[in-house]
Each structure stands twice: as C-alpha cells, then as structure tokens.
Structure 1
Amino acid sequence: MDDAPDRRPPPASRLEPFRRLARARAGGDLVPLPRMLTGDDRRTHVRQTVREDHQVRIARGDEEARAKFDKLAGSLFSFFRGTSLLFYRDMAGEDAWMPTVLAAGDVHPDNFGVLPNRDAVPVFGIDDHDEAFFAPFTWDLKRGATGFVLAADELGGKGRRKQDRIARAFVEGYVEAIGSYATEGGEDEHELRRDNSPELIRDLIDDALSVSRAEWLADDYLDEQRRGFKASRKLVPVTSRRAEFQDVIDRFVAGSGIEVPARADGMRVKDVAERKGQGTASLGLTRYYVLLEGPARDGTDDVVLELKQARRSSLDGLVPPSGFDSAGHGDRVAHAQRAQLVRGDAFYGSVEHEGLSMLVRERSPLRNSLDLEDLSGSEWLQYARVCGGVVAHVHALSDDGGGLDHDVEPAIAAAIGPGELFVDDIARFAREAAERARADHETFRADHALGAFRRVDVVHR
C-alpha cells in the first residue's frame, strides 16, 4: 500500500545539537568540544559521526559504500581525507573572533594540483572545492597543516620533527603570501603558471603538457572506433540515456550562464557513462561522465564533462555565525571555484538532476598532481610552502568575487599578529589533531572489522 505511513525509525542526526554547540562556543561559552572526549566516549563519537555522515551510502548498501570504508581502514591519510565532518566537529564554533573568508574547506596535500584555466592554460591551485564555506581563515590552515603532518608521515615516511617542519612551512608560506597581498595587492591577476612557478610545480605542469588531448581520450575514455566511452570497471556506458543528458546539459548551460567555448561545438552529447570508484571523501556518490563531440568530429578533440553529486559542506552548522550565506550545494561549490581561481574552468557550474544537486566540471589532460610518495625532504618543504601561498591567494580573493563586503587581507594580516607565534599555534594544533586522528583511525579500524558501518544509527521508540 503506497499510502501506508513509513513506520521505519528515522535516522539519527546530531546536526542541530552541533549547531547549538557551535553558536555557544562562538558566543564565548565555555562548552566542551568532542576533541576533549577520551576512551569509549570518543570511540562512540567517531562511530556515530562516520555513520551519520554516510547515512545514504550505508543505507544503499552498495559496493562503493563498502569500498570507501575499506579504503579508510587501510590508510590513516585516507581516513583523514574521508572524515572531514569528524575533524570539523572537533572545531565547532572555534576562532569566532578571526576574519571570515570563503574557505576552501578541505585543504590537504592531495587537493592541490595542475588544472586548466578558462583559456586552457595549465595553472597550479586547489582542485577540490566541494567543502567550500564561509569560515574563519584559520580553519583552512588547521586542516591543511594537519593534512601535511599525516601525509608526510604515511606517504613521505618522515619522522615527527620533519613532519612539524613541513607543517610550519605550509603556514609560513601562507603568512608570507597574505602579507604580500595585504600590502601590494595583485591577487586579482595572479596565477601560478609555468613561467612563474618554482621548479617542482613547473615540472608538474610540463608533465601535464606532454600528453595530447587525442592521446588522453584514446587511452582513458574512448572505444576503439572513438564513437563513445569504452566499458571498464570504472566506466559503465549508458548510451541509451544520451537524450536525457542532452536535456541536462542544455539546462546546465542555460542555468549556469556558461559561455560555450568553440571547442565544445554546441555542447552536443555524444555519449554518457556512469563513473565508479572515484575519490575518497566522495566515493560512493552519484557521478556521470558526459562526452561532448568536438569540432573535428573524429574523437580527437572531444570534451569530457563530469557531473558529480554535491553534498552539504562538512563546515555547515559548525562555523561561527558570520552573516555570509552559502547557497545550495552545487551552486555553493561552483561559486567557490569561480571566486577562488582567477580564470577558472570554463565549464564549472551546477545543475539539478534525479533530485540531486550535481556539480559540473571538465575532465582534462591538463589536470595533474604530485605523487607525494616521490617527494624528497626538501621537496616536501617546498611543496608545503607553495600550497600555503595558494591558500593565501584563495583567501585574498574572498572579498571581490567571493562575496565579502570588505578588504580582507589587511584584517587577516592584523589577526595573525606576531608571525612566529601564529605559526607555532597552528603547528601545535596540527600535532595534536594528527595524534587524535591516529587514535581515531585505530578505533575506526576495530569498529569496521566488527561490522559497525553496515548500518546507520536510528531513533527507536
């Protein structure tokens, strides 16, 4: 009976209690945060938070949901990347007196890379804006510094002293760059291109430029006749849905105000595929690839668009109240990308489909990222400093295109105060957060082995 009431217990949610906690903490109340929990209380908090953050994927019970938890169990750094809600609940309402920026939201060493700007020029920057949200500028630095500590440990094999130096280099790069933007400006035109990048980044850009679009399409996407997507474990062609997705793309162009470049040749959908097994935090979310036919019409210059389910930012409900609003999920991410890159992806935008807010962006042969395991000790320090500068650039762009109504760089520079003290504060936070992540990962692994993430928490009568 379709009209029968749904008597299943509703899923448990602590969203509103954490909103109240964040407001109280931001208002100056001396309320405890979850990071102060120990023992079994902390283990239960970790379990409940991970379950709550993955309610839909757990309830669906699909292979990718299980694959995500296996991935998180197998790697501490993957666990950190895939549990941003856990990280930010430990910071609820914190740093309310600090200047607000349009934060990237999920800063860590693997979320930087080479990507094309709207003129198809490869630039280096943040390549994931899914968690972007208005927050104190320190939130990006605390997550970023913690990410560098954990990555340098697991992927770089660095000891504790070197991990600390790398985290400090990240913050020092930020402090130096934000000071420059505060006194000299120039953020509205700055890009890290091949001609103005350090050698480490220049080599990464050269590597991206070495692959032609035709070669990239043939190797990664197209069937032997170049008529559509090839079938693989990761790509599942759904060619019968071309008309459906032509409508989606048409609505996307109209709704996002996209200025279609000539290389997209009228945005004609050539094929569609479901994309499986991609990402860490987003693993298990709905994702499609759409193939647009290029002007040559021979499969050598086609365009690949990615449509990915957008979710509520992990920072939503946890940041101190600021008066700045973030729009719906896909629109929020698209706005952040446009604001945080000087000349960003020409196809970046969002569209509603299947009842979901879908983020749209281009896949490109010009996308490339460092293999962190190959970095030497000096390269880790250089990379961390460059990434700190990139975050400063993102924050400096928060005022004009980002939606802030004041010049934010001087305010940040003033809030930083004595640079050495500020760097030490963030580095000490990162050390403690990394230790907490290590302990949380161990309890997560134990719970995962006992089947804890095959079900969600529900509210029983």
Structure 2
Amino acid sequence: MSSDRAQRRAAGKRLRDSVPRESHADWHPAEGRDPFAILHANDVGRLIELIPLRYERMRANPFAFLRGAAAIMAADLVGVPVPGIPVQACGDCHIGNFGVYRSAEGQTLFDINDFDETLWNVDFTVDVKRLAASVAVAAMAQGEDKAHRAARASVCAYREHMRELSHLSPLAIWHSRIDLDHEIGRLGDGDLCRRLLADAASETAGGLSHGDAPDLDPDSFHSDPAQWRIADKAPTIFHDGPNGLTEAVQEAAAALLAYPQSLQADRNLLALRYVQRDVAFKVVGIGSVGTVCAVGLYTDADGAPLFLQIKEARPSVLAPLALSPFFLASEGQRAIDGQRIMQAASDMFLGTAYSEVSGRSFYVRQLKNKKLSAVGEILSESGPKAYARLCGTTLARAHARSGDAAMIAGYLGKGDAFDEAVAEFAMRYARQTKSDHAMLLEAYEDQAQPE
C-alpha cells in the first residue's frame, strides 16, 4: 500500500509539468465576457415572480453578488488548464456555504452545507478557487492585504490537511470529521466563538436548529397537531402567492408525498411514521431564489414535529467543467449523492422526488442544518484567516472522500507555490467581482431614472 501511495503521489507531482502550480495565478476575463448574459440565461426556468428578489439580494454587496453568481464563475473557469484530478465537487464552494449541525451521535460538526451545484468528475482546483475567491471578496472591506492573506490561508490549510489525509486509508478518511468542539478555539475570539457554538448547538428535542425551523401559526397551534400550520412570513415563507406561486406550493406538497418511495427500506419506514400537516413555499439563499423550494411540517402520532425541506434540483453550473461526460439518473439524485459523498455525516432523510406535471426534479432533506450566518461577524471580530483555514481544512476532508488524496497531495507539494498562485487568482477574481457588482448597481440605477 505504501508503495502504491508513493507512486500516486509521484504521479500527482508529474502533473506539474503540464500544469505548473504557478499557472493557477493566471486569469483574465475573456474577450467579450458578459456576466449578465450568463445570469439571465441562468434565470430561464425560474419562477419569474421571484427573479427581482434574486437581483435585489445580489445588489447588497460584492459577496452577495458572488453568492448568486456561481454560473458566472463556472463560465469564467471554462478552458482554464487543470491538472485533471477528479473529485466530487461542491460546485458553489463559497464561505457562506459552510455550516454547523449535530450528528446522530451528538457531535457538533462543521461541514459544507450546500449541494445544489455538486458534481462528480470535476478537477479539485475548481472548488479551491471558488473558496479562495469568496474569502478574498468577503475580506476585501478590511483591505487587500488582509484579503490576500486570508485567501492564501484557506489554500494553505487545504494543502496541509490533504497531505495529512494522504497518509490514511480510504476508510480512515471516510470516518474523519471536523469536530467543532475541537476546532472552535482556533477561530480567534473566544467569547464570539463560544457564542456561535452555543447558538449552533442549541436544538429542540426534535432536533431542529433554532432560527432554521419556520414558526408555527399561533392561531393553529393547539392540542390537535392535524390543525398545525406554518406561519406566513412574506416575502420568504408563504402559502399563497401571485400568479403561479400557489401552484408551486401545491406541486411541492405532492412531490413530498411521493418522496418516501425514494428512500431505502429502513428510512422509508421511519419517514412513514410522520404525517404531512402543512407545506409552505420558502425562499432561500441567493443562488436558489426563483427555484421551487418549500418546507413541509410533519408530526408523528404523539405530535412531535419534523420539518422537511424540498428543493428543486436544476442542472449543475459545473457541467461544462466535468473532465468527461457521465450518466446522471436525475438532478435530484445528483444533489443527494454529492451530499452523501462530501459530508461527514449526511442526513438520513435525504431523498428525491419528481413532478410529473412540470418535469421538475427535487431533492429532500431534513431542515436541521444551520448555516453559519455570522460569517461577517467572524471575519470582522476574529479576523478572516482563522475562519478561512477552517473552511480550507473542511474542503480537503470532503474532497479526500472521493478523490485520490495522495495524488492531490503530490501535485500540491510541501511548498507554498500553489497557495500563492491561487491567492493571486483569488485577488484578481475579487476585483472582477467588485467590478461586476458595480455594473449591476449601475444598471439598476439607470433603470430607476425617470424618462
């Protein structure tokens, strides 16, 4: 085994001849690049009533723009030379898509928490570059020097942890986890970190993270769970909406009823112990705005609640970056397979559904994972480097579950050539993102001007 590992590491090292590590710094916008044409093309198939909300959220700041612009960055990376080491890629690996949740064993884990764009057979550098770029964009307000150091720290942590993992067996890698109880002290400010940990770890007896679960309508919340309803919170949670949105809620409810059929026998049996009481539309994130997404309220025979989230699964923006074509059973299956591969302890309720009416593919998961919404607070109070390192370490663990850790480590090496190159790329891309965001603001200001 050690000999094979050494050979794979050497094979990774040889890939530097065709794609030098220093070359990853090179990126310039393509001639005729039109980011808004890419965004508008990505709007096709979304619910048109919600598209304005998507752009409203993207206008907030450059980081919000980056979050909604996964399709732009994927297009920007088409044709960029890669070493060709495949992994299961997250696809939208920005720092806002990492989160905290509790495992079935009660551990507080830190992990990637969004898999809408996940795809197999993508070069590992694609996720690393999006992570580093997101760090740079988020930290730019503190100055370019801090942003560069933070982006470099995320890549350095990835490289160092990948090297550690490359010495382990596949089974040992599979069982490795980022235990937040152990890692939280590295984030810097102790009081802040303890506060975040306490918030993330506080759960109800039903396993729901406060702040993620929707509120129940107080008028319906009485002794009979059959009457419980989710409270409307327009414009993000609602039962009835303009034009086709009410139909979208009904479509999601029907898909949720069929979803248990996608589960393996033991989990199907568990899911069938719960009865659907209500379903409401739930607008989430930035990149997902305009897709059909809903939350279902369920209860067991004794009234214990369970919330399931159903999300429309569209083709991954990474499709043009796949190293070679391969068969996909469905977009929903792609999403849950990616989550199971990349997460250390994925949700037992993961499943898929399909709408015969619209042809939409969906995936379903328990609404319990908590995204670390205080990313900005961490970056401002604790400094961006420590949090960036945590994300880089986490990404390395996720990639090593599907990719060849020894080959990746061999390509990356012991030195900082790759770190420096990707950090330089991240700064270039952060400046471009800032420019793209300014163009979006200008476009909306022009539209707002009276004739």
Which category of TM-score, normalised to the shorter sequence, fits these structures?
0.7 to 0.9
Asked whether the 8 Å contact 1:146–1:430 carries over to 2, the reply is: yes
Equivalent residue in structure 2 for 1:372, among 334, 359, 375: 375
Match in the other structure for 2:217: 223
Kindly provide the amino acid, as one letter, of the partner of residue 318 in structure 1. Answer: L
Asked whether the 8 Å contact 2:99–2:111 carries over to 1, the reply is: yes
Match in the other structure for 1:423: 419
Asked whether the 8 Å contact 1:117–1:346 carries over to 2, the reply is: no
Equivalent residue in structure 1 for 2:199, among 207, 215, 218: 207
Deviations 1:382-409 (A, max 9, x none): 111111011001101115xxxxxxxx00
Match in the other structure for 1:385: 389
Deviations 1:50-91 (A, max 9, x none): 21111233xx541x2111112212321111111111111111
Q: What is the rounded CA distance, in whole Å, between the counterparts of 1:240 and 1:82 in structure 2? A: 25
Q: What is the rounded CA distance, in whole Å, between the counterparts of 2:414 and 2:213 in structure 1? A: 52
Equivalent residue in structure 2 for 1:436, among 417, 432, 436: 432
Q: Secondary structure at the match of 2:153?
A: helix
Match in the other structure for 1:302: 305
Kindly indicate whether residue 316 of structure 2 is the aligned counterpart of residue 316 of structure 1.
no
Match in the other structure for 1:171: 155
Kindly indicate whether residue 258 of structure 2 is the aligned counterpart of residue 251 of structure 1.
yes
Equivalent residue in structure 1 for 2:275, among 265, 268, 271: 268
Structure-1-length-normalised TM-score: 0.78
Kindly indicate whether residue 88 of structure 2 is the aligned counterpart of residue 102 of structure 1.
yes
* 1:194 shift after superposition: 4.4
CA pair 410-325 structure 1, distance change in 2 beyond 3 A: farther
* Equivalent pairs, count: 398
CA pair 260-221 structure 1, distance change in 2 beyond 3 A: farther
CA pair 121-336 structure 1, distance change in 2 beyond 3 A: same
Equivalent residue in structure 2 for 1:158, among 131, 142, 147: 142
Match in the other structure for 2:42: 53
CA pair 351-219 structure 1, distance change in 2 beyond 3 A: closer
Asked whether the 8 Å contact 1:116–1:345 carries over to 2, the reply is: no
* 1:308 shift after superposition: 1.0
CA pair 34-256 structure 1, distance change in 2 beyond 3 A: farther
Match in the other structure for 2:10: none
**126-135 or 185-194: which moved more?**
185-194
Kindly provide the amino acid, as one letter, of the partner of residue 134 in structure 2. Answer: G
Asked whether the 8 Å contact 1:80–1:437 carries over to 2, the reply is: yes
Asked whether the 8 Å contact 2:110–2:179 carries over to 1, the reply is: yes
**83-92 or 215-224: which moved more?**
215-224
* 1:378 shift after superposition: 4.5
Q: What is the rounded CA distance, in whole Å, between the counterparts of 1:223 and 1:167 in structure 2? A: 44
Match in the other structure for 1:351: 353
CA pair 258-339 structure 1, distance change in 2 beyond 3 A: farther
Asked whether the 8 Å contact 1:258–1:347 carries over to 2, the reply is: no
CA pair 371-231 structure 1, distance change in 2 beyond 3 A: same
Q: What is the rounded CA distance, in whole Å, between the counterparts of 2:87 and 2:58 in structure 1? A: 30
Kindly provide the amino acid, as one letter, of the partner of residue 421 in structure 1. Answer: A
Kindly provide the amino acid, as one letter, of the partner of residue 413 in structure 1. Answer: A
Q: Secondary structure at the match of 1:197?
A: helix
Q: Secondary structure at the match of 1:259?
A: helix
Kindly provide the amino acid, as one letter, of the partner of residue 317 in structure 1. Answer: P
Superposition RMSD in Å = 3.1
Q: What is the rounded CA distance, in whole Å, between the counterparts of 1:70 and 1:243 in structure 2? A: 26
**76-85 or 226-235: which moved more?**
226-235
Equivalent residue in structure 1 for 2:299, among 290, 293, 311: 293
CA pair 286-244 structure 1, distance change in 2 beyond 3 A: closer
Q: What is the rounded CA distance, in whole Å, between the counterparts of 1:259 and 1:251 in structure 2? A: 16
Identity of aligned residues (%): 26
Equivalent residue in structure 2 for 1:338, among 336, 340, 346: 340
Asked whether the 8 Å contact 2:103–2:345 carries over to 1, the reply is: yes
* 1:259 shift after superposition: 3.5
Q: Tell me which of the two structures has the higher relative contact order, counting C-alpha pairs closer than 8 angstroms and 6 or more residues apart.
A: 2
Match in the other structure for 2:443: 447
Asked whether the 8 Å contact 1:305–1:360 carries over to 2, the reply is: yes
Structure-2-length-normalised TM-score: 0.80
Q: Secondary structure at the match of 1:442?
A: helix
CA pair 229-86 structure 1, distance change in 2 beyond 3 A: same
Kindly provide the amino acid, as one letter, of the partner of residue 347 in structure 1. Answer: F
Q: Secondary structure at the match of 1:291?
A: strand
CA pair 289-36 structure 1, distance change in 2 beyond 3 A: closer
Asked whether the 8 Å contact 2:277–2:299 carries over to 1, the reply is: yes
Asked whether the 8 Å contact 1:145–1:167 carries over to 2, the reply is: yes
Equivalent residue in structure 2 for 1:361, among 362, 365, 368: 365
CA pair 135-191 structure 1, distance change in 2 beyond 3 A: same
* 1:417 shift after superposition: 2.8
Q: What is the rounded CA distance, in whole Å, between the counterparts of 2:105 and 2:265 in structure 1? A: 14
Q: Secondary structure at the match of 1:308?
A: strand
Q: Secondary structure at the match of 2:81?
A: coil
CA pair 175-34 structure 1, distance change in 2 beyond 3 A: closer
Where structure 2 has 5 or more consecutive residues not aligned to the other structure, the ranges are: 1-18, 20-25, 188-192, 222-227, 241-245
Deviations 1:283-308 (A, max 9, x none): 111111111113431xxx30111111
Match in the other structure for 1:281: 287
Asked whether the 8 Å contact 2:154–2:390 carries over to 1, the reply is: yes
Question: Aligned runs of 1:23-102 on 2, under 5 Å?
Answer: 35-37=28-30, 41-42=32-33, 45-57=34-46, 61-62=48-49, 64-102=50-88
Question: Aligned runs of 1:133-148 on 2, under 5 Å?
Answer: 133=119, 134-148=121-135
Match in the other structure for 2:118: 132
Asked whether the 8 Å contact 1:287–1:306 carries over to 2, the reply is: yes
Q: Secondary structure at the match of 1:74?
A: coil
* 1:211 shift after superposition: 4.1
Where structure 1 has 5 or more consecutive residues not aligned to the other structure, the ranges are: 1-25, 27-32, 400-407, 453-461
Asked whether the 8 Å contact 2:155–2:422 carries over to 1, the reply is: yes
Asked whether the 8 Å contact 1:146–1:431 carries over to 2, the reply is: yes
